[in-house]
Amino acid sequence: MRRWNAELLGWALLGLGAGALGGAWLGGTLGTVVLWAALLVPVVLAYRRGIPRGLLRISGVDVLYAVVLGGVLRVVQGWLTVVFGGSGSLPSYSSLDGGLPAFWWLEDLVGGALVAPVVEEFFFRGLLLVVIFTLVRRFAGNDGAGVGLGGFVAVAASTGLFVMTHYLTGPLSAEAAMSLTLVGLVCGMLVVFTGRIWPAVLVHIVYNGTGVLLTVAGTLLG
């Protein structure tokens, strides 16, 4: 971890900025692919320098985290939608014939529910959170106070950048911003407390995946 330093943080922020701006400018599927590529470059660079001990380890309890926390986050998102004036009915795709879009399974199920959570969690929690935590702990010390401060700053900063990136790449309602903030906080705290990235990845997959499945159900049943 000695090579996880301020320089690496700079490369991560550079990749984030370039990806967010490029993705917003290009838009659509191409913009999303450009954003993912820009986020993965600093992740690869960081992991070539060294991988934090235990970060990539997976445990059976991670599936439990995913089902429970991912499900709760989706329920809260639905509740927030109602609070902010939504009808509370199932979401659905906009289409003239009331059917599913031709490539919904590729763009939303594969891209949105599988690829996006992996890329985003490895960047925001597996890279940004870890490097910020490491830098703050080096400054504040390795005692309990230093570790606590590092965890707080790392979770807050990575969550803020996570939400900001979604805002830059597309319209973001108040309800969506609050939901994404909760996703970022929960996933960040999971990485800090477990020392593993996969609980966060799986929670994010369940959250995104249930959103896609509810949209499919709302379209077919509407």
User: For the chain, what are the domain ranges?
Assistant: 57-221
Contact 35, 20 (CB under 8 A): yes
Q: Can you tell me the mean pLDDT for 60-69?
A: 97
Contact 124, 5 (CB under 8 A): no
pLDDT of residue 110: 97
Q: Is the pLDDT of residue 7 over 70?
A: yes
Give the pTM.
Answer: 0.96
Maximum distance among all Cα pairs of the chain, rounded to whole angstroms: 62
Task: Using the structure block, give the residue that is written with the tokens 């702990």.
Answer: 137
Q: Is the pLDDT of residue 106 over 90?
A: yes
Q: Is the pLDDT of residue 56 over 70?
A: yes
78: Cβ contacts below 8 Å, ≥ 6 apart: 88
Give me the chain's average pLDDT, please.
94
Q: Can you tell me the mean pLDDT for 44-67?
A: 96
Neighbours of 180 (CB within 10 A): 21
pLDDT of residue 32: 94
- From CA 39, how far away is CA 17, in angstroms rounded? 9
Q: Which pLDDT band holds residue 96 (cuts at 50, 70, 90)?
A: low
pLDDT digits (tens, 9 = 90+) for 117-150: 999 999 999 999 999 999 999 999 888 888 999 9
pLDDT of residue 149: 95
**Whole-Å CA distances, 67 to 44, 70, 75, 116, 214:** 29, 5, 12, 18, 16
- Higher per-residue pLDDT: 222 or 52: 52
Q: Can you tell me the mean pLDDT for 91-120?
A: 90
Q: Is the pLDDT of residue 15 over 80?
A: yes
Q: At what angle do helices 61-83 and 174-194 cross, to 10 degrees?
A: 160
pLDDT of residue 171: 82
Q: Is the pLDDT of residue 88 over 90?
A: no
Q: Can you tell me the mean pLDDT for 107-124?
A: 97
pLDDT digits (tens, 9 = 90+) for 159-197: 999 999 999 888 889 999 999 999 999 999 999 999 999
Give the whole-number percent of the chain exceeding pLDDT 90: 82
DSSP per residue over 88-152, as a string?
Answer: -SPP----SSSS--TTHIIIIIIIIIIIHHHHHIIIIIIIIIHHHHHHHHHHH-SSHHHHHHHHH
**Whole-Å CA distances, 109 to 55, 164, 213, 215:** 26, 23, 8, 11
